[in-house]
A and B are shown apart, each in its own frame.
Chain A
Amino acid sequence: MGSLTQRQLRIITQICWTIALAVVAIPFVFPFLWMISGGFKSANEIFGSPSLIPREWQWQNFLDVFTYQPFARQYFNSLYIAVTVTALTLFVSSLAGYALARLRFAGSALVGLFLVSALMVPEEVTIIPNFFLMKWAGFIDSHWPLILLPVFGPQGIMATFLMRQYFMALPKELEDAGKMDGLSRFGVWWRIALPMSRPALAAVAIITFLNSWNLFLEPLIFVSSLEKFTLPLALSNFTDPYGMPLWHLQLAATSLAVVPILIVYLIAQRQIIESFALSGVKG
């Protein structure tokens, strides 16, 4: 056997690495494949064979999901709540973030410190009084808590600081020019600062949307009627009268909830991963 060249050696090492990574990747990928395949299996087959390809493709599952509970309504709830929370968070946090980054006023440092302290407190600590607050306001079994708490809770504060960080790094000259041209403060923010902050806005939007879409504790506590459920609650609710999960429906419904997000993720993975990196380092 002739000795290997440097190049061949590199290629072989690379192949070994790739195989090792592929093995590690199995528990990351397999649940998704299993979820989708399980959604197409019959209630019996799901326990029968470990094969990923269903013997019979049960498209019926994906229809039954919608008749078993108001799944379309629940899907819509999740969607409109996530969109609302994202839009409100973008507006509120970029306004406050801009003031903290650009405007000078007595107490700005104190306000910043005050707000940042919220990031250290887990929401489990404030959820009990917030429950009574919402009860007092008549918001139990409504979507208000699922909108208000994320927008103004730690997530919103985090978004504020992300925006602030980004605004501080922007060049000031354009905004000054805008002021010279007679734009109001609001106009400068809306027409100049915001358009220049698209990457930060995108990051906030992505993370806020996903957080709202996946929110579990708040819906569990505040929402009780089926038509008001959001997806995470609905998914865990495909059970028979004895409380045992109806796996084929549960997996079909879970696929319907997860696959669209996964498709968007696969298309925009670079942007999405960068958004998390940005918020993770700051948070």
Chain B
Amino acid sequence: MAGKPAIRVAARDEGAPWLTLKMREAMEAWLFISPTLAGFLIFFVGPLVAVVWYSLNEWNLLTQQSTYVGLANYADALTVNPDFWHVVRNSVIFAIGLVPMNMALALALAMALSRRFAGVVFFRTVFFAPVVTSAVAWAIVWKFLLQGEAGFVNQMLAGIGIDGPNWLREPDWAMAAVIVTRVIKMVGLNMILYIAALQAIPRDYEAAARLEGASSWQIFRWIVWPLLGPTTLVIMVVTTIGSFKVFDHIYLMTEGGPENGTLVLAFYIYQQAFEFFETGYASALAMIMFVIVMVLTVVQLFLRRRDT
């Protein structure tokens, strides 16, 4: 009695063992992935579909209900509302100001800190510290330091005879101030990526070039810089996308002001959606942001493919 079923099972396994094993493995795989996949569908795919739909509807506090309006929200942003292009301009200025400064400083620091010397760990720790600090804390302290006359920065400037501006109250200076303080906060991240890339370059290259009589600049220009190419590309795209997404820093330091001088895209979306409750319009803005980030990503993939 006991032996018979066992033989039957064995026979079935011999008949098609690959099927059951394979099916079992697939079932286990789906089970393992299911929490991630369910969350992904609920909190990402669903909302992504919804935001497209929202963006095609007029929906705000006044209307109280949504009415299908086609592309009117997009037309509103692109052609009617003067704020939109102002905001895009601010975001572009922010990116153009931030990305090169961030990358140049990151590379310079990485070059200085990729060699061994007493204090190298100390300096790496220092330059990276703002990255682990909350943006809120960072913004609070800098907002304090950058106040008009009583601010520390201006007191220091006065000490050497410079009459500093009221940094966060004048549009152009405010933009410069948020860019620079953001660079100081985030540059450590790119610095360590550059350090890793620099340390991956074999030392023989430099030694060989030195033997041939190459100068430091020539070594950098013709050996180091080309080898850093892929890293530079990734850093550039990630930093650019990050700069388009900047929100907390702006919210806390300037609230988009003065005179909307630092009103950038992510902050504008937040404002329209959660302060003015213009859900339809804000969703259209979100879609436009999505397209911008998508284009940047595709450009990166294209460049990377061409590179290799």
**A123 vs chain B, min Cβ distance (A):** 8
Which chain B residue shows the least CB distance to A99? Answer: B32
Which chain B residue shows the least CB distance to A88? Answer: B35
Interfacial chain A residues near B141, Cβ < 8 Å: 31-32, 34-35, 38, 251, 254
Interface segment, one of A19-27, A57-65, A168-176: A19-27
**B278 vs chain A, min Cβ distance (A):** 10
8 Å CB contact of B192 from A17, A106, A217, A276: A276
Interface size classification for chain A: 35 or more
Given contacts A50-B152, A118-B40, whether A235 and B136 have CB atoms under 8 Å apart is: yes
From DSSP, what is the main secondary structure of chain B's interface residues? helix
Interfacial chain A residues near B152, Cβ < 8 Å: 34, 50
Interface residue? B43 (CB, 8 A): yes
Q: How far apart are the CA atoms of A265 and B124 in the complex, in Å?
A: 12
Q: Which of B216-270 contact A (CB under 8 A)?
A: 234, 238, 241, 244-245, 247-248, 251-252, 266, 269-270
Q: Which of A101-136 contact B (CB under 8 A)?
A: 103-106, 108, 111, 114-115, 118, 120-122, 124-133
Inter-subunit contact B140/A236 (CB<8 Å): yes
Inter-subunit contact B138/A153 (CB<8 Å): no
8 Å CB contact of A92 from B36, B193, B274, B279: B36
8 Å CB contact of B274 from A108, A126, A148, A221: A221
Interface residue? A183 (CB, 8 A): no
From DSSP, what is the main secondary structure of chain A's interface residues? helix
Inter-subunit contact B36/A93 (CB<8 Å): yes
Interface residue? A79 (CB, 8 A): no
Q: Which of A144-191 contact B (CB under 8 A)?
A: 148-149, 151-153, 156-157, 160, 185-186, 189
Interfacial chain B residues near A283, Cβ < 8 Å: 238
Report B131-155 CB contacts with A as 1/0, cut-off 8 Å. 1111111101111110000101001
Interface residue? A14 (CB, 8 A): yes
Inter-subunit contact B144/A280 (CB<8 Å): no
Interfacial chain B residues near A156, Cβ < 8 Å: 36, 39
Inter-subunit contact B43/A152 (CB<8 Å): yes
Interface residue? B92 (CB, 8 A): no
Q: Which of B261-304 contact A (CB under 8 A)?
A: 266, 269-270, 273-274, 279, 282-283, 286-287, 289-290, 293-294, 297
**B130 vs chain A, min Cβ distance (A):** 6
Given contacts A50-B155, A280-B189, whether A122 and B40 have CB atoms under 8 Å apart is: no
Interface segment, one of B5-13, B47-55, B75-83, B202-210: B47-55
**A270 vs chain B, min Cβ distance (A):** 8
Report A201-224 CB contacts with B as 1/0, cut-off 8 Å. 000000000100110110011000
Q: Which of A241-283 contact B (CB under 8 A)?
A: 245, 247, 250-251, 254, 257-258, 261-262, 265-266, 269-270, 272-273, 276-277, 280-281, 283
Interfacial chain A residues near B143, Cβ < 8 Å: 245
Interfacial chain A residues near B150, Cβ < 8 Å: 47
8 Å CB contact of A124 from B130, B144, B245: B245
Inter-subunit contact B26/A105 (CB<8 Å): yes
Interfacial chain A residues near B117, Cβ < 8 Å: 14, 17-18
Which chain B residue shows the least CB distance to A231? Answer: B134
Interfacial chain A residues near B287, Cβ < 8 Å: 125
Interface residue? B96 (CB, 8 A): no
Interfacial chain B residues near A24, Cβ < 8 Å: 109
Interface residue? B71 (CB, 8 A): no
Q: How far apart are the CA atoms of A276 and B247 in the complex, in Å?
A: 21
- A sample of 7 cross-chain residue pairs with beta-carbon separation below 8 angstroms, ordered by A number, consists of A31-B142, A96-B33, A157-B36, A189-B32, A220-B251, A221-B274, A245-B140
Known: A118-B40, A156-B36, A281-B234. 7 other contacts (CB 8 A): A21-B109, A25-B126, A29-B129, A95-B32, A104-B25, A122-B289, A128-B273
Residues of A near any B CB (own CB < 8 A): 14, 17-18, 20-21, 24-25, 27-29, 31-32, 34-35, 38, 47, 50, 92-93, 95-96, 98-100, 103-106, 108, 111, 114-115, 118, 120-122, 124-133, 148-149, 151-153, 156-157, 160, 185-186, 189, 210, 213-214, 216-217, 220-221, 231-232, 235-236, 245, 247, 250-251, 254, 257-258, 261-262, 265-266, 269-270, 272-273, 276-277, 280-281, 283
Q: Which 5 A-B pairs have the closest CB atoms?
A: A152-B39, A129-B47, A105-B26, A99-B32, A129-B50
